[in-house]
Structure 1
Amino acid sequence: MNVRRLIPAAALAGAVALGATALTACSGAGAAESGGKDGTLDVTASFYPMQFLAEQIGKDHVKVDTLTKPGVEPHDLEITPKQTGQLADADVILYLKSLQPAVDKAVAQSGVKNVVDAATLTKLEAHAASGHDHGPEGEGEEGHDYAHGEAGEDPHVWLDPAKYAEIAKGVGAALEKADPGHAADYKKNTDDLVAKLTALDTEFKDGLANTAGRTFITTHSAFGYLAERYGLDQEGISGVDPESEPSPARMKELQEIAKKENVSTVFFETLASDKTAKSLAGDTGLKTDVLDPLEGITDKSQGADYFEVMRSNLKNLQKALGAK
C-alpha cells in the first residue's frame, strides 16, 4: 500500500465532537469546511490499522500519513523530531492509546485538538497469553497474564472484524464533523466499509464453525479478540511484545498443550523473529505458518491490505485447525 506524504495544513480542522470519550473538540481557524490548503483533510495515523480506516473512509477527501512505516514493529516505535512536527501540522490524528507509548506521549504534546483515540470507540478487554485455565502456575511470575496499558486491556481490537467495524463508525463520524462539507461521502464510505467488515465476520464464523481442534499457538499474543469472537483458544509463546523471550517453563507447558490439544502448527508473524516458533515446532514435530497481527503491510505480507491479509489468516487457521 502506498502511503501518501503529509502536506502541512494551513490551520487546524474545525469543531469535532464524537461523544465525551471519543474525540476532543475545539473550534479551529476556519479549516473545518475545506480541510487543508487544497481542500483535503490532513490525517496522521499512528499505524496501519488506523491508516487503513482513514484511507477507506476519507478516500480523495483526505491525505493520510502514518507514523509507523512499513516493516517497523509498532510496539517499538520511536518518534523522530520530523514526525513530531508532522503531528503538530495534522488536521486530525487517529491513534490507539496504550499500544505505542511513544505515540501517546507525542500526541499529548502535539497541540492538535482533533484527536481520535480508537480505544474509546469500542470496548477493550483484558486477555491472557493462555486460552486455557492452567491454574496458578500459569499466571503471575511466568508472565502468562499479559497486561497491556494502564487498565490491562488488550489493544489488538482490529483483529476482530466486528470491533473494527465499531471503530470505523467512530472514525467516520469524526471525519464528518471535521470536514462537514464532505460528510455525505464519509457516511457512505463508512457504511460501505462496515458492510465489508460484517461480511468478513461472517466468513470467519462460517469458516471456523467446524474444526477438528480449537487451540492455536502463536508467538505474539495479539489474537485474543479473534479467538474469543470465534470460540478458539489462543496460546501465546510470548506476551503482547512479539520479541520477548518465553521462559523454559512456558516452552515446556506449550509442548504439553500441543500434545494434549492435537495442535499441528505454530504460528509466527512477518514483522518479528520466527526463532521461538521454529524452536518450539522443532521440539514438538509441528509445522510453522504465518498468522499476521496486521500491525503493518510489507512485501512479505500475505496480502496487499487488511481484507486480503485477514482472509489469509482465516485460510491458515482453517488449515491448522482442520476445518471441515
Structure 2
Amino acid sequence: MFKYVLPASLLLSVSAFAQTQVVTSVKPVSMIVSAIGGEHIEVQQLVSNQASPHDFAMRPSDLRKLDQADLVVWVGESLETFMEKPLANLSAKKDLEWMALNDAFLREFGDKEAHNHDEHHEDHDHDEHHEDHDHDEHHEDHDHDERHEDHDHDEHHEDHDHDEHHEDHDHDEHHEEHGHEGHDHSGTDPHVWLDPVNAKVLAKAVTERLISIDPEHKQDYQTNFQAFMSSVEHADHDVAERLAGVAEVPYFVFHEAYGYFENHYGLNNKGAIALSPERKPGAKTVAHIREEIEEHNVSCVFSEPQFSPAIVETLIDGTNVKTAVLDPLGTNVELGADSYAMFLTGLADQYISCLK
C-alpha cells in the first residue's frame, strides 16, 4: 500500500504554524511569557535588549507583528507609551496589560515603605498588597477606558516630563528644593517586574490566557506555571537572605527605576542621578548630588547598560565612591524556564558587588 510521507521541511512548517504567536514589549515580559508558554509559543519582543522602552518608536514591521499576534503582553502605557494607540486600533482586543491586572502591586514614585519580608516569604500571600482582589475576575476583559481612571499615566508622565524636566535650571530648582529622596517623578511607578510578587501575578494571567487560546496544551501550561512559581519563590528567599547583609549601605542609582526591588528587599537608596533617563542633569544638580553623596556617605553609584555612564564617572571622579552597573531589563539573561529567577539573582549580584 502506497504511503505518502510529508517532507521534513513541511512538517517543520506545520509545527511552527501551530505555535501560538505572542508579542511582548520588553525583556522581563518575555522572560515570564517564555517560561509559561515553553515550546508551544513563539515570542517576538518589540524593544531590543540593548534599547530603552522610554524612547522606543514603533516601525511598520512592529505594527504587523501586533496585527498577526494571538496575544500581546506589555507592562503599561506609562512605560510603553508607543503601545497604547496601535493596540487600540487593532480589530480585536488581544492584549494583556501587566499594570492593569487587579492583583498587580503598584507603588507610587517616592514611596520608600518596604514590604514585610517575613510575611512575603512565609505566606506568599498577596492580600497585604491587593486587598483581596480575585485573580479570576479580571484577566479576560479589561477595558482600556475604565482601567486607568485611577492613574492616568499619559498625563503625569508626558506632561510632567515636558513641563519640568527639559531645562537644566528646572532640574536644579527641583533638587535644591526637594532633594533626591522625593524624586521628580510622580504617579505610578511602571517598573513592576522588579517585584517578584508581580512576576507571579503576570505568570498566572499569562497561563490563563494561553489556556484560553490553546486549550489543547492546558496541562503543559499549568505544569510550567507551577515550575515558574517554585523557581521564583526559591530565588526570592535566596536573594532576600543575601541582600540582608548590605541592606543598610547607602547608594545612588542612575534613574528612579528600582523602587519595587528596593522596597521588597529593604535596600537603602539615597537618590537618583537623572530625573528622567533621557535627560542629563545640569551643572548645579551635579554639584548638589556630589554634596549629597558626601552627606549620606554613599558608597556606590550605579549606572545602567541602556544609558551612557559618563555622568556617573563625572560624579565620582576624585572620590572613593565605587560604581557598578545595574541592569533593570536583564539584558544578558537567556530566555528559558528559569529566566526570571536568574534575573532576580543577577540583579542581587550586581547590588552586592558594589555595596559589600
TM over 0.5: yes
* 1:124 counterpart residue number: 106
Give the distance between the partners of 2:350 and 2:27, measured in 1 at CA. Answer: 21
* 1:159 counterpart residue number: 194
Give the distance between the partners of 1:212 and 1:42, measured in 2 at CA. Answer: 41
Give the distance between the partners of 2:56 and 2:325, measured in 1 at CA. Answer: 22
| Cα displacement string for residues 125-158 of structure 1 (whole angstroms, at most 9, x for unaligned residues) | 1123999xx9982169x982312xxxx2111111
Q: Which amino acid aligns with 1:43?
A: V
Kindly indicate whether residue 42 of structure 2 is the aligned counterpart of residue 51 of structure 1: no
* 1:146 counterpart residue number: 185
Q: 1:261 to 1:175 in 2, by over 3 A?
A: same
Matches within 5 A, 1:191-270: 191-211=226-246, 213-234=248-269, 235-239=271-275, 241-270=276-305
Comparing 205-214 and 270-279, the one that deviates more: 205-214
Give the CA deviation at 1:309. 4.1
Give the distance between the partners of 2:230 and 2:285, measured in 1 at CA. Answer: 40
Q: Is the 8 A contact 1:57 1:172 kept in 2?
A: yes
Give the distance between the partners of 1:173 and 1:314, measured in 2 at CA. Answer: 30
Give the distance between the partners of 1:137 and 1:160, measured in 2 at CA. Answer: 30
Give the distance between the partners of 1:295 and 1:111, measured in 2 at CA. Answer: 33
Normalised by the length of structure 1, the TM-score is 0.76
Give the distance between the partners of 2:297 and 2:240, measured in 1 at CA. Answer: 22
Q: 1:67 to 1:220 in 2, by over 3 A?
A: same
Give the distance between the partners of 2:88 and 2:300, measured in 1 at CA. Answer: 42
- Structure 2 unmatched ranges of 5 or more: 1-13, 114-173
Give the distance between the partners of 1:157 and 1:212, measured in 2 at CA. Answer: 21
Kindly indicate whether residue 273 of structure 2 is the aligned counterpart of residue 291 of structure 1: no
| Cα displacement string for residues 239-283 of structure 1 (whole angstroms, at most 9, x for unaligned residues) | 3x3232124444334323322333221111111110111111115
Give the CA deviation at 1:164. 1.5
Give the distance between the partners of 2:111 and 2:307, measured in 1 at CA. Answer: 17
Q: Which amino acid aligns with 1:237?
A: I
Give the CA deviation at 1:214. 3.5
Query: Percent same amino acid at aligned positions?
Result: 29
SS of corresponding position for 2:274:
coil
Give the distance between the partners of 1:214 and 1:261, measured in 2 at CA. Answer: 10
Q: Which amino acid aligns with 2:230?
A: A
* 2:80 counterpart residue number: 100
* 1:137 counterpart residue number: 177
SS of corresponding position for 1:216:
strand
SS of corresponding position for 2:221:
helix
Q: Which amino acid aligns with 1:102?
A: F
Kindly indicate whether residue 43 of structure 2 is the aligned counterpart of residue 64 of structure 1: yes
Q: Which amino acid aligns with 1:193?
A: F
Q: Is the 8 A contact 2:250 2:300 kept in 1?
A: no
Give the distance between the partners of 2:206 and 2:59, measured in 1 at CA. Answer: 26
Give the distance between the partners of 2:265 and 2:20, measured in 1 at CA. Answer: 37
More helix, by proportion: 2
Q: 1:212 to 1:199 in 2, by over 3 A?
A: closer
- Structure 1 unmatched ranges of 5 or more: 1-34
Q: Is the 8 A contact 1:57 1:186 kept in 2?
A: yes
Give the CA deviation at 1:81. 0.9
Q: 1:209 to 1:37 in 2, by over 3 A?
A: closer
Q: Is the 8 A contact 1:268 1:291 kept in 2?
A: yes
Q: Which has the higher contact order (CA 8 A, sep 6+)?
A: 2
Give the distance between the partners of 1:175 and 1:279, measured in 2 at CA. Answer: 48
Larger radius of gyration: 2
Give the distance between the partners of 1:164 and 1:246, measured in 2 at CA. Answer: 32
Q: Is the 8 A contact 2:50 2:306 kept in 1?
A: yes
Q: Which amino acid aligns with 1:44?
A: V
* 2:207 counterpart residue number: 172
SS of corresponding position for 2:255:
coil
Q: Is the 8 A contact 2:109 2:185 kept in 1?
A: yes
**Pick from 308, 317, 321: which aligns with 2:351?**
317
Give the CA deviation at 1:182. 1.2
Give the distance between the partners of 1:209 and 1:289, measured in 2 at CA. Answer: 19
Give the distance between the partners of 1:59 and 1:178, measured in 2 at CA. Answer: 15
